[in-house]
Every structure is written in C-alpha cells, then in structure tokens.
A and B are shown apart, each in its own frame.
Chain A
Amino acid sequence: METVAPPTAAARSASRTPAPPAWLIGAGVLVALLGLLPIGYLLVLAGSSEDALSLVLRDRTVGVLGRTLLLAATVTSASVLIGVPMAWLTTRSDLPGRRWWTILGILPLVVPSYVGGYAVVAAFGPRGALQSLLEPFGVTRLPELYGFPGAALALTLFSFPYVVLSVRGALLRMDPAYEEVSRSLGRGPWRTFFTVTVPQLRPAITAGALLVALYSLADFGAVSLLQFDSFTRAIYVQYRASFDPTLAAVLALMLVACTAGVLLAEARLRGRARYHRSGAGASRPAATVHLGAWRWPALAYCAMVVGLAVAVPIGTIGYWFIRGIGAGEPLTLVLDATLNSVLASGLAALLAVLASIPVAVLAVRHRGMLAATLERATYAGFALPGIVIGLAFVFVAARYLPWMYQTLPLLLVAYLVRFVPEAVGITRASLLQVSPRIEEVARTLGRPPSAVLREVTLPIIRPGLMAGGALVFLTAMKELPTTILLAPTGFDTLAVRIWSATSEGFFARAAAPALLMVIVAALSLGFVLRQERDR
C-alpha cells in the first residue's frame, strides 16, 4: 500500500489495524482539541503580547518562581523524611499496631488541600481552636502561621503519604535475598540498610517524591488559604486584580513549564525504575526487624505524624462543627452547596465517560500515529493545574463566547478537559480486556462498526464505564480552582463554600461542608486503591 517500505514490525502493526471510521476520528479529534485548547490559548495570548518575555523576567515574577520552587522543594524533602521511615516501620518492623499505623499513615490523603489548609488555619491560626483552648491561660498570640510555614506544613502533612505508598510497595516487592546476601557477607544491619536497601528504594522514593512535587506545584487551596504567593495564588490574584490577561497567562505558562519539567523527570526516572526491578516472583516476605527499646521512639514518631495529619484536621473540623451547630449555623446552605456539587460533578462524570470512549477505542483498536497523538493530547489535562485550565477557559469565554461565561456548560467543559484522562485510563483498561475477536464475530454476523460498538463493546465494558464515571464524580466533587474561576454566580459548591468561609475566617461555617468533603475524598481514595489492587 505504501510505496516506501518502512521497518517491518511497524508496518505490520500499522496495516494490521483497520482504518477507523470517520465519525470515530471526528469525535476523538474533538476531545483532543478540547484538551489542547487551554495551553494553546494561553500560548497564543502570551505570544501576541510584545512584552511577554519582559514579564517573565520581572522581579515579581522571578520572586513567584523562586517561592514556588522553594515550597515544592521543602514539601518534597519533608515528605521524604517523614514518609520513608513510616513506610519502613509499617512493613519491616515489629512496631506495635503495625496494621493500624499502615492505614493511618495513608489516611491523610483523604484530606483535600483546602480542607487541610482550613484545618491548619482553624486549628493553629489566630482565633483558631488552639488559641481558643489556650485563651483561659492568657495566650493571646500564637506564632505567625500565614505564608511559607503554614503552606509548607499543610502541604507536607497531606501529601507525604504518596511517598509512604510508593516506598511501601517497593519494600514489599523487594527480594529479601539481597539483604540476606549482604548480611551473610559480613555487613551488619545498619550498613546493609544503607548500602543495599536504600539504593534499591531510590526509584520508589523518587517516584513518590515527584508525585508530592507535582501536588505542591499545582495546589491552589492550601497556598491561597495560607496566603503564600506561589504561582497558583499569584495567578488568581493577578486575574482578580486586572483585566489584562497577559501577565496571568505568562504566570500560568511558567507554572505549566515547572509541571512539565517534573513530569518529564518522572517519566525518565520511572523508565529506569522498571529496569532496576528484579525478576518476578519475589513474594517471600522479608524477616521482621525487632525494634526492642527503639519501639518507644518509633511509636512516638508515628503518633506525632498521624496526630498532626489525621487527628488535628478531624478534631478541628469536629470542634468547629459542634460550635457551629451550637451557634445556629444554617445547614440549609450546606444542602444547597451539596446539590450544586452533585449536579456539576454528575454531569462532568457523564461527559467525561462519553468523551473517553472514542479516544480509548482509537487507542486500543486502531493503534497508530493518529491514535497515539489523540490520546496524548487528551492527557494534557493531567499535566495542567486546575487553576491553569480554569484561567484559560475564562479568557476564551470572555473573548469569544461571552454568552457562555459563568454558565454551567462552560464549567462542565473545563471539568471535562480536567477529568477526561481519568476516564480514558479506565475505559482503555476495560477495552483491553475485550478480545477483538468478539467484535470481529459481531461484524461477520451482519453488524457495521457503529452497531458493534453499541450492541457488543459498550455493554461488555459497562462496569468499567461506571467505575470511570464514579471516579470522575468523586474527583470533580473535590475540585476547587476550576470551580472558583468558572462557576456561575451564586452557584457555590461544597469546595467553594469551604474555601470562601475559611478565607473570611468563618471557621464554623466551613466545618459541615469540610466534613462532607472528607467523606467524599475517603470514598474516592478507597476506590482508587481498590482499582490498583484489582489491576
């Protein structure tokens, strides 16, 4: 068919997959273009301005960049320092109550960053719970919390479990034979740990650390509540303060560049990690290390971490919730926000699942250049912080679609771009389970491709589609920055309610929605963990 003979393997796979029908390509291209729209429009915006480059180099911008990187570096190192010992203690030692500590060590992930920010402010901030408790003793001022210390504290406390999870996994998979060989060659337990175990853990530590770095770069909730001027907050402030979108666009693009750098590093390091992994079937568990007297400091350490990351937020939310009820805080407002959250998230889930179908079908059944490009374009939503997606859609709507600005449909389109990668991931995985032979049989029984999709493929992968929808629903419930920027006036979701109440110091008003949000987040974490286990 082609006049030039390309390499055999590539040519084989290329011509083995039949050409996809036009409607499938059309739908896939549409979804991909939507995915590329935010970054594309921001580039156009920044590129059309003559002083974009000078904006990048301006003092204020460089300051924001420096602060953002400092925050990311601090949060990442602190998370590694907290997470690695936690992972080791819960997998390799005879720490009392090991299984409980395992769960408690992962639990902070259920606290969305703005809830975490809220908890930190409402516990340790001025007029916070700690100060109220200490007031009878004459304490009227606590050390300054706002700015860097608070932001770093909040982000570390609620993202270090990424390190725990990835290092735990590595410790459980690691073949204990390496350590045993080292011991048999005369190295003691400490030298073995640092010369054999730690080097093997490095890929896992890096993977966890990079997740934390991404999280702290993209976070808007905690840094805005704690008033630390990193990129996300600076973008938001800039957007509120001026109608000239150029500076906000430049800031957003710089943030995207940071994120892309981290993602590239992760891809490269992850590739190497796979290379490092030893052969399959190392299921023999390693011998348990007896802590002896060390068990007391170990317990104190775990209790302190879990206390700050789990007990403090839950306690604070509970404290303000009860005080709120006592003060007659109206719960109808919460009901209202819940309904809005459910409506927007439900529609977002539906759209994301529908949009994931053409992309996933192309990626699985019609592999090739086109499909790979479309799939990657869709994944752009993953790499973009929510504030960037929200900002881009605000600008696009303000300029070209004023009738759509601050309407539910625009919010849903932004949600779609942000969450379609999650849906594509699950739809793709379920499609891979369906043998192409089943679809071919349906063809021979008289069905054109569209009927095969409708009558055979989609019914078979329905459980996967439902799972993808549920995941998007739960994630969209938690979404803050996109919602703040794009929600119709008066359309407050739970996330927006928590954020605005905290910003204004109404801690009791934020408590009930925060409680609900922790429950939603716990559900979604349980869901993700189950998906990973089933895989």
Chain B
Amino acid sequence: MTSTAGTHAPMALRALALSKSFGDVVAVDDVNLDVQPGEFLGVLGPSGCGKTTLLRLVAGFERPDGGGIEVGGRAVAGPRRNLPPEQRRIGMVFQESALFPHLDVAGNIGFGLPRRGRETRVAELVALVGLAGLQHRMPHELSGGQQQRVAVARALAPDPALILLDEPFSSLDATLRSQLRTEVREILRSAGATTLFVTHDQGEALEISDRVAVMRAGRIEQISTPEELYLRPVNRFVAGFVGEANLIAGEVRHGEVQTIVGRFRAPVGSLVDGDSAEVLLRPEQLHMRALDLLETPPRPESVLRVVRRVFHGSEVHHVLRNPDGIEIEAATSSSATLEIGTEVIAHARAHEVPVYPLDEPA
C-alpha cells in the first residue's frame, strides 16, 4: 500500500500523473489531483474535456494507461493493480438517477448495506434526505428531485470514502435544479462526505464547490477556490470559461498595458515595452460615462456606442462597439441603463487586473 506524504490524515482522493487515451484521443492527460477529506471539489470543463473519463477512472469503470489513484490513502489503481469498482468504497450519482426500478426507496438505499443494521441505516438516510414516509414508493412514483435525493442517499449509505457526482442536476429544469443543488450540498456537508462533482455548468460549479478544477483537452488548467478562479484565472481559456469576460487588447508602455478602457499594471518581468497583451475585465468592473458629460474629448478609438442590451434581471449588460469594431460588455444595474446608440467611454477603477501576454498560445 502506498502511503501519502506527511503525517496528516491521508488525502480522500489522490490522482498521480493519471492518463487515459481512447485510440488516438487523449481523454485524460497527466492529471494530478488532491482532494482533502470533507472537501467538495468541482470538476468543470466543456463537453469532451475528459472530466467524465476522470470520474470513471476514479470509480474503476476505466483502467488508466498511466499513473495511479489512491482513495483514502489506499492505492486502488496503478501500474500493478486495478481494483474493480465494487472494492473501491466509492458512491456514485449519475445524471439519470439510475435508481433500480424493481426496488422501492428503502430497497434502493439499502442495496449497498449488509443485512445486519440495514433498516436502522436506511431510516437514518431517509430522514437525512428528507424523504421520511416515502420508503415504500417505487422510483417511478417519485418526482425527479426526489429520485436524485434517493440516489444520493443510496450512494451515502455504505459510508464511502468518496462520493462521485456526474452532472447530477443536468436532467432537471432550471428552478428545481438550483434548489436541489443547494439541498444536496447541504446533505453532503452534514454527512461529512468528500465529493468529486463533475459539471459543464460554471455557475453550478462556482456556487457549491469548495474548490474547482477547470479541465481542457484532458488537462487540468487551474484548481482554485471559486473566487480565485473568477478574479485571477491563470489563462485566457479559464477566464473565458468561468464567468463572462472582456479580454481587451493593448500595448505595453512604461510598465503599463494601454487599452481603450484605461491603463493597467503590466506584471514585472514577463512583459517589456512594445509587447502586446490582453487584460481581463469582468462586465461589472467596467463603468460607462456618456460623452456629453466629459470635460476633455477622448481619443476617437475609445468612443464606444451602445449597440445592444441584454437584460439579466438585476443587471443589464450593454454591448459596446468602438469604431474599429471591437466589442466589449459592461454591466449596470437595471435602474441605470443607457439607450441604444448612446456614445460613451468606458473605464475600470481597478488598476491591477489579470494580464495575458498575447504571444502566449491561448
């Protein structure tokens, strides 16, 4: 058995240089990952990025081509061993609830439990997921949300070392979805479960995860807290994938990136005068001012015209276009919108924002 470094409790999940290809498609490429006990880790990425394969490798449904996996300090997959799923102490919840249609709620929850003490444990879990009184319903007699709660209870019942959620809310409609994800998060928190949660929905990942791993083309691009991911994405891909992003090009002069919406500090060392770079500005970081309120006339390329408005409830996003055709998006509260056609300049109050050199591959 491989021991983990340090004297602390072992990681709930550890992936070491994990790789998996299907033919010449590399699905998971040298992935390293540590999940702390009790942590809720979101794995976020576009479809086909390898996040589901990562989950299936951890569960034991796929055999890695290289690297290893430890669950609770115990090696479950590696060069010399590959434990089958039934020996990994892992609970799994799928997008389709995948309840056993021939068993009732109690039968589903108790499926992974030894006969002794089964009833007590089932009753505990039924109460935990708030389905008391429905033990003897069959799956088809439950609503979509109830089915997913049963699926969560069933995964939790044998007290697994790790819970894997594979897009568990995608098949539900929007309202139910946000309600259920809060509930499920609460259930897992109170059970003290360690969770790996795969989703392509960035809002969902940011909302309920302790940390989020963003994947692209089989690789993990960044693992951070949701705040860090939103405010300081490591590259343009993460910036664009997490939240709405304006990537505004500029040129470095005197240690600053000069753009049509202002000047921003260029990171020391990586950029020199004359380099091209992009700065990341979220729509809510940009402020607009109508031209006629300005004291000094702006440079012509900074003049932006409101070409479209997108209503988001509490906020309204204004799509702005400059004479060169560059479009950026700025948010205001819905009570302070500007008419389409208004000419404005935009600026950001922040001076230190993420800057990405433009010669770096995207």
User: Which A residues are within 8 Å of any B CB, using their own CB?
Assistant: 1, 5-12, 15-16, 18, 435, 437-438, 440-448, 456, 459-460, 462
Contact = CB atoms under 8 A, between A and B. Distances in A.
24 contacts: A1-B65, A8-B24, A9-B23, A10-B23, A11-B24, A12-B22, A437-B96, A438-B98, A438-B101, A440-B61, A440-B92, A441-B98, A441-B151, A441-B155, A442-B111, A443-B86, A444-B59, A444-B86, A444-B112, A444-B160, A445-B112, A448-B84, A456-B100, A459-B102
B61 A15 contact: no
B84 A443 contact: yes
B170 to A, nearest CB: 13
Nearest to A460: B102
A12 B25 contact: yes
Contacts, number: 82
B319 to A, nearest CB: 39
B23 A445 contact: no
B61 A18 contact: yes
Contacts of A12: 22-23, 25
Nearest to A458: B102
A108 B25 CA distance: 56
Judged by DSSP, the binding face of B is loop
A16 B22 contact: yes
A441 B92 contact: yes
B130 interface: no
Contacts of B236: none
B154 A445 contact: yes
B59 to A, nearest CB: 6
B283 interface: no
Smallest CB-CB A-B distances: 4 pairs: A11-B23, A445-B112, A443-B85, A437-B98
Contact of B23 (A6, A438, A442, A443): A6
A8 B100 contact: no
Contacts of A9: 23
A447 B92 CA distance: 14
Contacts of A18: 61
Contacts of A459: 102
Interface string B139-165: 000000000000100110010100000
Contact of A447 (B62, B86, B151): B86
Interface in B67-84: 84
B155 A444 contact: yes
A443 B62 CA distance: 13
Q: Which of B65, B96, B101 lies at the interface centre, i.e. has the most chain A CB atoms within 10 A of its CB?
A: B101
B23 A8 contact: yes
A1 B20 CA distance: 10
Nearest to A446: B86
A15 B84 contact: no
Nearest to A456: B100
A413 to B, nearest CB: 32
